[in-house]
Amino acid sequence: MPYTVIPTAIPDVLILEPKVFGDERGFFFESFNARDFAQATGLDVNFVQDNHSKSAQGVLRGLHYQIQHPQGKLVRVVQGQVFDVAVDLRQSSATFGQWVGVYLDAQKHQQLWVPPGFAHGFVVLSETAEFLYKTTDYWYPAHERSLRWNDETVGIVWPWSGQPLLAAKDAAGLSLAEADKFA
């Protein structure tokens, strides 16, 4: 099996650890294979968009979601290290309002599956980080929402002291009580 699936505290959020082949020349691994992903996770997803961001240390991106055209995301870091977070916004879920956080870095090559219905974000812990992710639906700016990164009800414990660097839309994120949610 090319992936080892590691469960998280929220069963629908999965860590995928690819099989990496390495020697003195470097390494090789399949970062995505639809057949193997489906076999390892039991999920049949269709990714339609790839995104790539580079951010400086202390940048916090998120917590983003689309209220219509919700996106599932398969995320990974190819340079540096981040603390990646998913928050369950599905009101019918037993884990509604809960969050899970995972350290992702370029050395371990782990990926995180964030299902539709979750807010997602990360903070950069290294000097810089390059972050890649696949999405199951396209970006629709009119449907994009931001959950407040430091909402006390959600209570995310970020491994970053001080004020992170935020985009204006992230600084204006709504609390869980105010935010649009999924059924």
Sign of CA dihedral 104, 54, 40, 87: positive
Give all strands of the β-sheet with 81-88 in edge-to-edge order: 99-105, 81-88, 118-124, 60-66, 144-146
Looking at residue 1, its pLDDT comes to: 59
Question: What percent of the chain shows pLDDT beyond 70?
Answer: 99
DSSP 107-123: TT--EEEE-TTEEEEEE
Looking at residue 3, its pLDDT comes to: 83
- The residues carrying an active-site annotation are 64, 133
Average pLDDT taken over every residue of the chain:
96
How many domains in the chain?
1
CATH number at residue 106: 2.60.120.10
Looking at residue 129, its pLDDT comes to: 98
Residue 163 belongs to a domain: yes
pLDDT at 13 over 90: yes
Residue 147 belongs to a domain: yes
How far is the CA of 80 from the CAs of 53, 65, 107, 130, in angstroms?
12, 24, 8, 7
Looking at residue 14, its pLDDT comes to: 98
The residue range of the domain holding 155 is 3-171
Per-residue pLDDT of 87-134, as tens digits, reads 999 999 999 999 999 999 999 999 999 999 999 999 999 999 999 999
How far is the CA of 27 from the CAs of 81, 83, 142, in angstroms?
19, 24, 41
Looking at residue 46, its pLDDT comes to: 96
Residue 177 belongs to a domain: no
pLDDT at 142 over 80: yes
pLDDT at 177 over 80: yes
| pLDDT band (50, 70, 90) for residue 31 | confident
Average pLDDT (64-85) is: 98
How many whole angstroms separate alpha carbon 159 and alpha carbon 101? 10
pTM of the model: 0.95
Residue 8 belongs to a domain: yes
Close Cβ partners of 8 (under 8 Å, ≥ 6 residues apart): 14, 15, 100, 102
Residue 178 belongs to a domain: no
pLDDT at 2 over 80: no
Residue 183 belongs to a domain: no
Beta pairing partners, 81: 105
Q: Are 171 and 106 in contact (CB under 8 A)?
A: no
| pLDDT band (50, 70, 90) for residue 161 | confident
How many whole angstroms separate alpha carbon 61 and alpha carbon 162? 15
Residue 151 belongs to a domain: yes
